[in-house]
Structure 1
Amino acid sequence: MRQSFQHPNLVLRVRHSRDQCISRRRDTRSAPPYRDSLLLHLLDSRVNRYQHWTKHNAFYGLAITTVTSALLLAADSHHWTVAGHIFYVVTSHRASVGLAVQLLSGILGLLHVTAVCRLINYATRLRFNKSVVTLDVLRAWVDMSIPRLDWDLPLRFFFPVLIIVSFGLVPSALWAGAITPILTGDTTVGTLQLPSYANIFLIKEYPSELTQGGPSLRNQQGFFTYNVGTQLIGDILSSAASATTIDNSVRQHSKFDNTQFSYIGRSYGVGGSVGLGDQSIRAIPQATGYSYEESGYLANVACIYNSSSDFLLTSDRSQWMFIAGGNLPDSVESPEYSNYVGHNMPQSYAFLNTTQCSFDFTPTLFNISVNLPNRTIAVTPGPQIPDFNPDRNITRTVVRQFELLSNDLTNLYVSLLGAAFNSSIAAYNMSESSSNKPITEADATLAGLTNSITAMVDDMLAAYSTAQLIVGGFSVPQTASVQRSVLRFGLPAYIYSIFGLNLAVLLAVALEARRTEGWKRLSKFDYLDPRDLVVAASRGGTGVAGAVERMEGKSVRWEKEKKREKKREKKMWLFSNPDEGIGEVPVRLVAEEEGRFEIVLGRERGDVEVESKVNFSSRV
């Protein structure tokens, strides 16, 4: 079999046989006698230009990985985030971003693997300059320097190669985890307008007549009025009827406007500015929510049955009307600040008769959290604060609205207010039906009534706060903590891992450069370059080929005599290979003058080295 190795100035033909290895020129009749040495010198001219860039180019790529890993570490330490246009691009094109991350992580990982493999290549080339190695060792060096997995290697070489190849997968995986954009949260500062109670001259009880009512305003955001008890009857009744949930879950109810925000739990009469005075916050890109503090009244409602009440219904037969009048318990003729609501019901609402509810308003600083995507508001009571309305005009006006509601919602046939209370009481009975605790009608009535009155008080306080903000125009700025969605690059575990890996590679390069004095003795021969291997092997002679011939002959004889042998050293191989004995052939690299190299047969078991040079004959 013949193989041709072409060069622009040379064609080298090698005939493989048991006893000869002959090299011939393309045209010996027309070439001058010195053509062979000249052409081989041209092959070696490539390595004579072994400059600084050629030796160190693989390590300069670590500058890119070092800067990138340092920036990622700084971004994680200082909590740097990305928002704006980049945020929209990443969240809108996740597939494309994922592809870009894979490509970039592969490139950055390749820089690390290239540097490590170049260290292995340089270290093994330095060893090859002064040591005898077998062909299997040379194969393992090649596989570790590329890197690649050779399934025909002996296990003692296969596993080290497997470790290096497996390491080649680690950097790109770590880089992918370190540079992948991750959706996270960030906090900034915003400002919203809260209702001010420095001027409350508009908060008072107005006559029920439409022409004598207080100021109101209707716009795209909703209807806002100081006539809470007469103009917001429908919303207040709906709140009273739904005050108790049938499954004991947290109540969720809407605001009295068109902002489509809902409270989770009690409103406590605050949070009216949400959707009305927070335009600057909602204009922040990627804002997901905000939280702030607001002053208000914490209303505690306590309802009881009081049979000693002197609050009665007196019939006026001539007018088909009943007059509600009398004294509530603890009532005195002099002015006092206790707030009571008493109920005296006819036969249809007998379960509410003689019920009495008292109110206790505590000035409190509330913590309000707003979820913008879900449009929900959660209010949490905070510490007690000094009263911002010592005259209690606000709370007194709120309690007086129950009289207006009762007057407007009673007719000859039904009491809408009583029906709303009844709905809350029925819901409480349903919520407690699954429990083993017996519930009396009186307990259910008082619980449902308390929930309804509490919900009505909270909503009326909130209605007055929005009237102050929108109708009266009385507001005060308040700072809020705004949460927004942003992007960060990578998880801390991957960032610190890739930074440590990059530092380890840099340290390995520095130590190896110091140990070898900048690879000062590194030869120009590179076993990864087929040109170097062909030229060096051709100069080395037929010694290696002869050793291979002898090993192949031994292999044939061993096949014939293996039945008679009792013991033979066994080698472990991953897969069987017909020429498995060739890997034991020892070779070494010999340097000649002018930077030329030869691969010759090395020493093994004390044998004398056999050196046989290739003769380039001028005969075809």
Structure 2
Amino acid sequence: MSMSPRQFTFLPTVNARKKRKDGRTAEYGHWIRYSTFYGLLITTGLASTLLAADTFKWRVTGSFFILANRFPSSVALTVQLLAAFFGLIHVAAICRLINYALRIRLTKSSVTLDVLRTWVDMSIPRIDWDLPLRFFFPVLFVVFLSLVPAALWAGSITPFISRAVTSGTLLLPSYEDVSFIKEYPMEIGNTGPSLRNSKGFFGYSPGTQQIGNLLSSAAAASSIGKTRPVHPKMDNTQFSFKGRSYGVGAPVGLADVAISGNKQAAGYIYQEEGYLTNVTCIYNSSSQFQLSPTFNAWIYAASGNLPDSIESPEYSSYIGIDGKAIVAMGVSHSESSARRYIAITTGESYRFLNNTQCELVFTPTLFNVTVDLSNLNITVNPISTVPDFNPQRNLTRTMVRQFELLSNDLTNLYVSLLGDALNSSIAAYNMSRISASRDPFTEDEATLAGLTNSITAMADDMLVSYASAQVMVGKFFTSQSAVVYLYSLQFGQRAYIYAIFTLNLLILLAVAAEAIRTHGWRDLGRFNYLDPRDLIIAASRGGTDVAAAADALAAGDGKKIMKHVWLLSDPDEGNGALGVRLKGDEDGHVSIVLVGGDEDRATRTGICHAKAGYIRLGKHVSIPYHRSITAMTQSPRNHRIPNKFQR
């Protein structure tokens, strides 16, 4: 029992639409026809997810983030492969639309071989260097566009480091119990409770226990050329303040383990109450606080009333060979005093500081504290005033008293280390003003500005020192929530995400429009010009007309007639101008026939046609095929090739 060959190159005619007894059909099945377009479901879902992730700021953390950072090369390779795959889906959908449209057109109209080649190149897509220029550049443009989807996908799915927001808690100092905050006697071993561990030294007498850090702050308070000077935090946490600390930020690195212990934490922001310290320094020529010798040759007394002195004048003793190197600071000792003033009296070596007076005003304020864990930076910004969290003012009163202890400890027989630190701040201010502005300023103005900066910096640092002692030594703290920023992965940049989403939407619209226009590609037959099997079989059914017409274009020397200029290959050989069309038989089998053959003879004239050894040159002229080449070669002016083949 013989079986018919399963040849599927059919035209979608009415008769061929019916399924034959041998199982052949002219129509594609649903899956074969639409399978390529189903791939757009993948790209649509992914593009929509990327758009939603960008809109709602979705981020990836956890093990995937760690894995991506550990193997960046593998991530890059995966991104390239996925981008190529998703781009292939888009290109395949576009090429299938082109293929379907041109296959339908081919059943209804004739085309030249060059146009057919152009269709093939656009449907693959590929660059055919043998195309005429008018076809080459459109094909080149389509090939270039086929590279765009994969590039856009790469930009849309490439992960890069971003930040995700979560919450955390840390411990803030509490001042409900201030029993440890007081002025301790200066005798050795009686400076109050303290603690030393790997994170630093913490105690309640910063004026005697943090001398080195305070001197550094005083000297660098007017840093040259820095609008926001960076100075280290007074512990071993390696954090630094950018700008003023305002006396807050002590828990950073000490009581934030729940946050800083997370290796993916980039930083956090929290709010803390503290004192906004405003310092105003002036020259007080009528100051009663003065330096005078005593009965002991090396002992000098700094005594006198301050603007806020109560009960009795201030008095303290300083050592020095002749009193010239003494810098003495006086602070009211009475607990009834508001403790707002610092009076300075000096010897001859520091006379520029003599009779200076500074007023300190403490305003209870709520601060925003921003912590950068990657760079170990702390930035503090005041927000608003709040009720006083320490109405008894134990904190501020004790802190200001530390200036007197500090100045006394830093004076020796030959020099005042505190005076030198203040002098460094004044000199830095002088140089910064000269480099930043040409406005004239006096030496007194520079001295007061540098002194103000130093007193402010030391006051802030001592407030931080007391806060650290409350947390680490006294264990007086309260929990506070913080907004934590985690290192995370963000997929794609916004521009690429919107671009790929738009491209995907345009392709979907194009598919829908074509499906509506062609009624679901109802007229699409089984013949596909991209399949060499279909081309060879259909050309074989069409006979030798196309080949004979191509031979007829040859000149006498055996070379083809040049019609067009080529770009990067051989000259135009002329075959591309031959026109062909599809023809179906009673069974719907496809044949590729020459335009102007038997099927077109009644309606088309003047087209070269070869059949049964004859070539038709005109409406009433036919010559044998073996004589046609000689005739055209010898008499090219009388027997010209029809213009249809010269275009």
* Corresponding residue for residue 464 of structure 2: 462
Distance 1:202 1:67, change over 3 A: same
Correspondence list, 1:298-317, <5 A: 298-317=276-295
Question: SS at the partner of 1:480?
Answer: strand
Tell me how far apart the structure 2 counterparts of residues 96 and 539 of structure 1 sit (CA, whole Å).
53
Matched, 1:94 2:87: no
Structure 1 residues 558 and 192, CA gap change in structure 2 (3 angstroms): closer
* Contact 1:203 1:226 (8 Å CA) reproduced: yes
What residue in structure 2 maps to residue 340 of structure 1? Answer: 341
Deviations 1:475-507 (CA, angstroms, capped at 9, x unpaired): 111121222222111122222222222222222
Q: Does 1:599 align with 2:592?
A: yes
Equivalent position of 2:505 in the other structure: 503
Inter-CA distance 188–555: structure 2 relative to 1 (3 Å threshold): farther
Q: 1:354 to 1:174 in 2, by over 3 A?
A: same
Structure 1-normalised TM-score? 0.85
The equivalent residue for 1:421 is 422
8 A Cα contact 1:524 1:595, kept in partner:
no
Q: What are the superposed Cα offsets for residues 310-335 of structure 1, whole Å, 9 maximum, x if unpaired?
A: 22333223463222222124645494
TM-score (ref. length: structure 2): 0.81
Match of 1:445 among 435, 444, 447: 447
1:413 partner letter: Y
Aligned ranges 1:170-185 → 2 under 5 Å = 170-185=148-163
Aligned partner (choices 30, 39, 55) of residue 52 of structure 1: 30
Amino acid across the alignment from 1:583: G
- Alignment partners' CA distance in 2, 1:46 and 1:436: 90
Distance 2:208 2:113 in 1: 101
Q: Which residue of 1 aligns with 2:518?
A: 516
User: Which moved further from structure 2: 491-500 or 106-115?
Assistant: 491-500
Q: CA–CA distance in 1 between the matches of 2:254 and 2:166?
A: 20
- Residue 42 of structure 1: aligned partner: 5
Shift of 1:585: 1.6
> Aligned in 2, Cα 1:51/1:382: closer, same or farther, shift over 3 Å?
closer
Structure 2 residue matching 1:269: 3-state secondary structure: coil
SS in 1 for 2:178: coil
Change (3 A) 1:606 1:241: same
Contact 2:308 2:338 in 1 (8 A): no
Q: Aligned equivalents of 1:51 and 1:166: distance in 2?
A: 32
CA RMSD in angstroms comes to: 2.8
Q: Which residue of structure 2 aligns with residue 567 of structure 1?
A: none
Moved more, 258-267 or 335-344: 335-344
- Say which SS state the counterpart of residue 193 (structure 1) adopts: strand
Question: Percent of aligned pairs with the same residue?
Answer: 57
The 5 Å alignment of 1:2-41 reads 41=4
Alignment pair present for 1:120 and 2:121: no
Output the amino acid matched with 1:417. Answer: L
Aligned residue type for 1:602: V
Say whether the 8 Å CA contact 1:233–1:405 is kept in structure 2: yes
CA contact 1:149–1:162 (8 Å) conserved in 2: yes
Is 1:483 aligned with 2:506?
no
CA distance in 1, matches of 2:405, 2:559: 118
Change (3 A) 1:468 1:580: same
Please give the residue correspondences for 1:398-417 in structure 2 after superposition, counting only pairs within 5 Å.
Answer: 398-417=399-418
Q: Distance in 2 between matches of 1:485 and 1:148?
A: 43
Following superposition, the deviation at residue 68 of structure 1 comes to 1.6
Relative distance call for 1:558 and 1:322 in structure 2 (3 A) is closer
Q: Give the equivalent residue in structure 1 for 2:549.
A: 547
Give the partner amino acid of 1:161.
V
1:287 is aligned to 2:269: no
In the alignment, what sits opposite 2:333?
Answer: none
**Aligned residues of 1:540 and 1:611 also touching (Cα < 8 A):** no
- In the TM superposition, residue 608 of structure 1 has moved relative to its aligned partner by 8.3
Q: 1:288 to 1:461 in 2, by over 3 A?
A: same
* Partner AA of 1:589 in structure 2: L
* 2:193 counterpart residue number: 215
- Contact 2:120–2:530 under 8 Å retained in 1: yes
Other-structure match for 2:181: 203
Question: 2:584 is matched by which residue type in structure 1?
Answer: A
Question: 8 Å contact 1:367–1:379 — kept in the other structure?
Answer: yes
The aligned residue for residue 636 of structure 2 is: none
Equivalent in the alignment of 2:581: 588
Can you list the C-alpha shifts for 1:198-246, whole angstroms capped at 9, x where unaligned? Answer: 1111111111113433111111111111122222222222222222223
Q: Any gaps of 5 or more consecutive residues in structure 2?
A: 11-23, 313-335, 614-647
Q: Which amino acid aligns with 1:355?
A: T
Cα contact 1:203–1:394 (8 A) shared by 2: yes
Give the corresponding residue for 2:398.
397
Distance 1:522 1:320, change over 3 A: closer
What are the superposed Cα offsets for residues 335-371 of structure 1, whole Å, 9 maximum, x if unpaired?
A: 4425222222222222222221121111111121111
Q: Tell me how many residue pairs correspond in the alignment.
A: 568
Name the residue aligned to 2:317: none
What letter matches 1:371 in structure 2? Answer: D
CA deviations on 1:503-557 (whole Å, 9 max, x unpaired) are: 2222222232333333333222222111222222222111111211222248979
Separation (CA, whole Å) in 2 of partners of 1:89 and 1:558:
64
1:463 Cα shift? 0.7
For the Cα contact (< 8 Å) 1:295–1:363, is it kept in 2? Answer: yes
Query: Counterpart of 1:580 in 2: which secondary structure?
Result: coil
1:534 counterpart SS class: helix
SS state at 1:148 partner: coil
Q: 1: distance between equivalents of 2:566 and 2:226?
A: 71
CA distance in 1, matches of 2:239, 2:149: 48
Once residues 544 and 514 of structure 1 are traced to their aligned partners in structure 2, the CA distance between those partners, rounded to angstroms, is 36
SS at match of 1:259: coil
Cα–Cα, structure 1 residues 131 and 438, in superposed 2: closer, same or farther, change >3 Å? closer
Q: Which amino acid aligns with 1:44?
A: Q
**Distance (whole Å) between structure 2 residues aligned to residue 157 and residue 582 of structure 1:** 15
Asked if structure 2 preserves the Cα contact closer than 8 Å seen for 1:84 and 1:285, the reply is no
